[in-house]
Amino acid sequence: MRPPTEFISRRAHGVDASGIRKVFDLAAKMKDPINFSIGLPDFDVPEEAKDAAIEAIRSGHNRYTPTQGIAPLRERLRKDLTAEMGRDVGDVLITSGVSGALLLAILATIDPGDEAIFLDPYFVMYKHLLTLAGGKSVIVDSYPDFRFPAEKVEKAITPRTKLLILNSPSNPTGVVMTEAEVRAAVDVANRHGLLIVSDEIYEPFLYGGLRTEDSGLSKENVAPPSGSALSPQSSVLPSPARHYPNTLILRGFSKSHAMTGWRLGCVAGPEAVVQQMAKVQQYTFVCAPSPFQHAALKAMDLPMDAAVDSYRRKRDRVVEGLSRKFEIVKPEGAFYIFPKAPAGMTATEFVAKAIENNVLIIPGNVFSERDTHFRISYATTDEKIAAGCEVLCSIA
């Protein structure tokens, strides 16, 4: 009989999970660690959203929904995103998380050999999804400040380039693109005929206090007091979708409302692309989870500003706690910071040392072609932040 390993495709072998797996193998031996590794908020889903999900289940919303998602949620998202962007954002598809939207976007646009550009460091899924689709990741270095290097990006474009994937606020750096950087990205994309995939999953978590002038918006384009679509309270994120119709806006509920397990996200963009994504969804995910789509509609009305304020304070604490020993770029969004490992060691070596001291962090090579930095998720208690920073400084 053939050994089962022989059934595995080259496609599956092409995806490597070893980096993160090694960290979690090391972590398995830790007892009650200071856990700086988790990419999800430390608050729970708001009670009203939980009630709405339970009510949806009880009232029978347990069947398939239309592939595109339930009409009231799609309409609400289109209306709110259109108000936020100051132009009609196009068609809306409800997806199984932003992960689902990313997979569908890549499957609907990338032919074998097509290229997608994104910055290093990057959210790890981009690279692997492109590999699964037979596409090519073209990774543009953005060290040491993680700003958008428009010239380098332009140089990386070839006749096979189709996508420019942006992620602001960024995982793992917390960097938020400025309006000028967004305009530079749009300019490059427009001149070279690229589709922008704008991963805005951390959009509600903005700490920089972006003012209207900074975001380059005319007053009438902003929708105060309702603000942005999924986060009525926050400042407004500079988004390429404001200026460039060939943008897929990816937003999600996982981070904004701590619903990582509910698997809910959305994509808005040009009808011709979104409809193809819906077609692929029909034969893969079928639809996003029905009761949670109903709950998400409720969640969109809930103020989350207390959570955002609390993360802003945590960001300040972690910056203060680490800057005396580490080279850092102050994050302006999300809940990550990406400090440089101490001189003379790789990030992997430093992470091993941190784990020996009961602090769990992720080495930069999980998110990067380099092994020089490490990621901290500061979505944890203030006590753990203080204790963890203390340990990291003491071993640096």
Applying CB under 6 A, the residues found at the interface with ligand PMP are 39, 97-99, 123, 167, 171, 199, 201, 252, 254, 260, 265
User: Looking at beta carbons only, is 171 or 348 nearer to ligand PMP?
Assistant: 171
Closest CA to 102 of 189, 190, 163, 178: 163
User: Looking at beta carbons only, is 23 or 222 nearer to ligand PMP?
Assistant: 23
Exposed/middle/buried for residue 283 (C-beta within 10 Å: 0-12, 13-18, 19+): exposed
User: Looking at beta carbons only, is 171 or 372 nearer to ligand PMP?
Assistant: 171
To ligand PMP, the closest distance from the beta carbon of 125 in angstroms equals 6
To ligand PMP, the closest distance from the beta carbon of 349 in angstroms equals 25
Residue type at 181 in one-letter notation: E
388 contacts 34 by C-beta, under 8 angstroms: yes
User: Looking at beta carbons only, is 131 or 190 nearer to ligand PMP?
Assistant: 131
To ligand PMP, the closest distance from the beta carbon of 59 in angstroms equals 26
268 contacts 248 by C-beta, under 8 angstroms: yes
Measured between alpha carbons, how far is 223 from 244 in angstroms, rounded to an integer? 19
User: Looking at beta carbons only, is 260 or 276 nearer to ligand PMP?
Assistant: 260
Two tokens at 204? 């509600």
Residue number of the CB closest to ligand PMP reads 97
Q: How far is CA 38 from each of CA 55, 218, 312, 325, rounded to the nearest angstrom? A: 30, 38, 17, 23
Two tokens at 384? 């753990």
Measured between alpha carbons, how far is 278 from 149 in angstroms, rounded to an integer? 33
User: Looking at beta carbons only, is 68 or 377 nearer to ligand PMP?
Assistant: 377
Q: Which residues have C-beta within 8 Å of that of residue 141, sequence separation ≥ 6?
A: 119, 120, 149, 152, 369
To ligand PMP, the closest distance from the beta carbon of 213 in angstroms equals 27
User: Looking at beta carbons only, is 230 or 347 nearer to ligand PMP?
Assistant: 230
To ligand PMP, the closest distance from the beta carbon of 238 in angstroms equals 16
367 contacts 172 by C-beta, under 8 angstroms: yes
Closest CA to 360 of 31, 43, 42: 31
53 three-class SS? helix
Residue type at 67 in one-letter notation: T
298 three-class SS? helix
User: Looking at beta carbons only, is 254 or 293 nearer to ligand PMP?
Assistant: 254
To ligand PMP, the closest distance from the beta carbon of 123 in angstroms equals 4
CA atoms within 13 A on the CB side of 76: 19
Q: Which residues have C-beta within 8 Å of that of residue 351, sequence separation ≥ 6?
A: 23, 361, 362, 363, 374
Closest CA to 19 of 137, 178, 128: 128
To ligand PMP, the closest distance from the beta carbon of 127 in angstroms equals 12
To ligand PMP, the closest distance from the beta carbon of 347 in angstroms equals 19
To ligand PMP, the closest distance from the beta carbon of 252 in angstroms equals 4
To ligand PMP, the closest distance from the beta carbon of 173 in angstroms equals 11
Strands 362-363, 161-167: pairing kind? unpaired
CA atoms within 13 A on the CB side of 169: 27
Residue type at 31 in one-letter notation: K
